[in-house]
Structure 1
Amino acid sequence: MGCGDEVNHGNHVLHEKNTKPNIVIFYIDDLGYGDVGSYGAVGVETPSIDKLAENGVRFTDAHSSAATCTPSRYSLLTGEHGFRNNAAILPGDAPSLIRPGKATLPAMLKKAGYQTAVIGKWHLGLGDGDVNWNGDVSPGPLDIGFDYSFLLPATGDRVPTVYLENTKVVNLDPNDPISVSYKGKVGERPTRLERPDLARVVADEQHSETIINGVSRIGTMGGGESALWVDEDFPDVFTGKAIDFIHANKNKPFFLFHSYHDIHVPRLPHPRFKGKSSMGPRGDAIAQMDWMTGKVVSELEQLGLAENTLIIFTSDNGPVLTDGYDDQAIELLGDHKPWGPFRGGKYSAFEAGTRVPTIVYWPGKVKPKVSDALLSQMDIYASVAKLVGVKLEDNEAVDSVEYLSVLLGEEEIAREALIEESVATNSLRVNQWKYIAPVKNNNVAAFLAHKNIEGGFAEKPQLFDLSKDITEQNNLASANPKLVQQMQLRLTEIINSGY
């Protein structure tokens, strides 16, 4: 194909130099449906995100694949449900969940000539187990399609509390090697259980191990003093790395998976964001996240790249207020409703577990609208493949369905059926119907009680008509036994054979 030739992708006929738009995914952590202004936030302003929503497609029924982070991240990058690989929330020393050779979104885009990067939270495991943090850490992102990575290896509440750039810990002194354990104490740093006076954030027992930057974490860590992160620096460090990657690749197509730590715990926004909301650290972290998003979008505009960049803004799961640390998120909530009009939140089988803010922005290509189409983040994979002209293999992204025209706001009808994963069961959406499979021997109720989350788990089937009961209050299962049976059969069929 020569320069200036044309390629037809559905209704899009673009010249060769424009057939490969840049792709940026802003993947926010624990951001609820109602946590930004365009979705009804109160007590915090999100002008940068609201600008994307006002000038793009704002989805009202778009979902992460799961109500927790690791399976959702796995699903976004592989186009398949996390349960197909037993994906669950990983400890900080877990081996790599996405193995080399597995088809991934970045690897697919590399086939189309893209430069690819992941910047921010990873939490998908690294290495083959028993990672040597003092050497080359692999396999990791570079082995599954990313050209560049700058990571929190797991997440902010877990050790090691260091940055990993490609395969190396940043600023590590070889004379002060890192040791990490999730089985017993290593190193000389005190834990919160030993020295509660050194911790500036109140934490539960699970989050009360090694204290770093005045915050106790899950797991223990010794050494690596020169490599330790400062939580308050995250917005500047990650935004800077994202902008550096964009500058380095401004003359070629690029894919940036910008995976935020905000607004996950521990919430320690930079001091300049203190008081930017009426909700304390959680609200201030939302304002910080909005600033980060605006900085990257502004950079794209200044470089003249905005009109050739597809931006997708979304979250890995629904909201949680108390998740191991007490930062007065409940007491300072006011009239704000992180879950929007829905029930539940992170971990939950109810709608707020996976129904998350989702915005698609592409100046000149996407017309502003609100879409009620049912979509999954898994569908990004197949849809982007169509956009860039890559034909997927038969066993690639098996749960991803191509809805490019829906993402771009040209059509409204998308999925009929979608599984929503939670920590204890699977739910099935079929059009307006929502079925929550029964849970026997529910052992997560006590866990969720500490999170102040309604799990939605019951020993009997639950069936809701969301067209009349968006808050999932009226269980219609006993009145519709035949429909319950059909929904369970359909759920089993999808789990065993796909959509």
Structure 2
Amino acid sequence: MNAKPNVIIVYMDDLGYGDLSSYGANTIQTPNFDKIVNGGVKFTNGYATSATCSPSRYALLTGRYPWRNENAKILPGTAPMLIDTNQITLPKVLKKAGYYTGIIGKWHLGLADGNIDWNQQISPGPNEVGFDYSYIMAATQDRVPTVYIKNGTVENLEQDDPIMVNYDENFEGEPTGLDNPELVEMKWHHGHNNSIVNGIPRIGYMKGGEKAKWDDKDMAYTFLEEVKSFIGRNKEKPFFLYYAMQQPHVPRTPAPEFVGKSGMGPRGDVILEADWCVGELLKTLKEQELLENTLIVFTSDNGPVLNDGYYDDAVEKLGDHDPAGGLRGGKYSLYEAGTRVPFATYWKGRIEPTTNNAIVSQVDLLSSISHLVGINLQSEDSQNLKNVLLGESSQGRESVILEATGRTALRSGDYILIPPYKGAAVSQHVNIELGNSMDYQLYNIKSDPGQSENLVESQPEKLEEMIAQFKEIRGEINSEAEPLELK
């Protein structure tokens, strides 16, 4: 057994606080997720830094609040690298501590300088910011290019069928979801009407690379087999694996074995598919005799969304299920459901099962894991909560800044402050309350988790205290700032 524990981060995509049976769901059962949540430290106040994907992933790997980087927003598939190759990152720190590091799954943090030739070695990418091994999709499952990239090279690409990608204009003669609805198998609702791959219209335009294109329904299996192989190859030395799963992000394309299994449509089906994948991960660790020397961190990049671009029965078949778990808002929102997510740590034989109400943030993983492996890293934003993550303390953060499409809020103690922001109160696309109001909002999140009672008038002293604290961390409040466009 290695002296240092292996570290695996299982990162879900758009999984809500109420999407697991271990977090209160009744209409869906997630036994393998529950093994981690109920077998380790279950956090009830665990946060992603942001209510959207790229910013949260940036914070997870760099230990830096994404609002400090003006480019940390939802990225197109042709975006330049968001992480500077000179930045400290979690995989870099773990490499320094003797770990072999890998990412498998969704990247969505940009590649190269943005002028990407997909037919050559793509650099910089994950391998240039600390990962020894990378097997990724460049952006998201609903964005082109729809190919797997292994250590900077598109897998299965044929030289006589080069890939071309453009997010501004289509390639002549190529069908789109907008112009060729007869070719679409999954109907688009908003924003997803460009190039069609496997009957699914995507965001962005792509031509070529036919043999390299992924099969959506096999994606979960493809990434899982990579995970199993990575563990098998590296079992003799400490390893760090960032397993960035694509579920339940759109397009939801469960493998045939999971179609209809949840009774809640594809969204429920892919949650069950992901739960099975995590079960296979645990089984692999047990077979390799690594389970008792592996710290697993399980969480999600942001809160839930139902209709996020396709008609897929997520709304119609929801039934009594509440993906937000009683919280207000969802993905894209400054309300709690945007950033408060399932968050658990599991280490068989080391961490005792417990529920912890401490405030923890994914931005803290850099410092906390660094200290776990013997590197005393100091960071402006990332706090060392190693003892909290190991279940040895309930003293978490005093406060955390939360972000959604360029707007920020403050969680401090039991209170949430949302400054005034212009913009729609509810997104017309996804039907989620965004948290925008031209008035301050103040909530006691402990007594009022659903954020139904604005305390601005009844607790003016608390309001002033929270405003002062917010300004000290974040700077002046710009209530005229336009929220970034949702896509």
Q: Shared topology, TM-score over 0.5?
A: yes
Q: For 1:120, which of 99, 102, 105 is the aligned residue?
A: 105
Match of 1:482?
461
Between 99-108 and 448-457, the greater mean CA deviation after superposition: 448-457
1:370 to 347, 355, 378: 355
Query: Could you tell me which amino acid in structure 1 is paired with residue 73 of structure 2?
Result: A
Contact 1:99–1:139 under 8 Å retained in 2: no
- State whether structure 2 residue 300 is matched by structure 1 residue 318: no
Conserved? CA contact 1:187–1:222, under 8 Å: no
Deviation of 1:420 (Å): 1.0
Q: Secondary structure at the match of 1:59?
A: strand
State the Cα RMSD in Å. Answer: 1.3
CA contact (8 A) 1:425 1:438 kept: no
- The one-letter amino acid of 1:41's match is A
Matched, 1:166 2:176: no
TM-score by length of 2: 0.95
Q: CA deviation at 1:205?
A: 4.4
CA offset digits 1:346-388 (Å, max 9, x no partner): 0101111111011111011000011111100111111111110
Answering whether residue 245 of structure 2 is matched by residue 250 of structure 1, we say no
Q: CA deviation at 1:28?
A: 0.3
Conserved? CA contact 2:54–2:74, under 8 Å: yes
Aligned counterpart for 2:414 among listed residues 402, 407, 432: 432
Segments of structure 1 that go 5 or more residues without pairing to the other structure are 1-16
Give the Cα separation in 2 of the matches to 1:205 and 1:254.
41
Question: Partner residue of 1:61?
Answer: 45
Amino acid at match of 2:272: A
Between 133-142 and 44-53, report the one with greater CA deviation.
44-53
Q: Which string of whole-angstrom CA distances, capped at 9 and with x for unpartnered residues, describes residues 448-484 of structure 1?
A: 1220111121011100111221110111112333322
Q: CA deviation at 1:445?
A: 4.7
SS in 2 for 1:301: helix
Contact 2:190 2:310 in 1 (8 A): no
Partner in structure 1 of residue 28 of structure 2: 44
Tell me which residue corresponds to 1:412: 394
Task: Note the 1:242-321 alignment, pairs <5 A.
Answer: 242-321=227-306
Task: Say whether residues 1:30 and 2:14 are aligned partners.
Answer: yes
Gaps of 5+ in 2: 477-487
Distance 2:148 2:174 in 1: 19
Q: State whether structure 2 residue 383 is matched by structure 1 residue 398.
A: no
SS for the counterpart of 2:352 is: coil
**Counterpart for residue 148 of structure 1:** 133
SS in 2 for 1:325: coil
1:79–1:381 contact (8 Å) kept in structure 2: yes
Bigger mean CA offset, 423-432 vs 286-295: 423-432
Structure-2 residue corresponding to 1:79: 63
Shift in Å at residue 215 of structure 1? 0.1
CA distance in 2, matches of 1:424, 1:257: 26
Once the two structures are superposed, what CA deviation does each residue of 1:220-254 show, in whole Å capped at 9, x if it has no partner? 00110110001101111000001111111000000
Match of 2:432 in 1: 453
Q: Corresponding residue for 2:181?
A: 196
Is the 2:425–2:435 Cα contact (8 Å) retained in structure 1?
no
Aligned length: 475
2:208 aligned with 1:223 = yes
Match for 1:141: what amino acid? P
Q: Is the CA contact 1:425–1:436 (under 8 Å) kept in the aligned structure 2?
A: no
Task: Name the counterpart of 1:355.
Answer: 340
Residue type of the partner of 1:152? M
Residue 42 of structure 1: CA displacement? 2.9
Instruction: Measure the CA separation in 1 of the matches of 2:425 and 2:18.
Output: 25
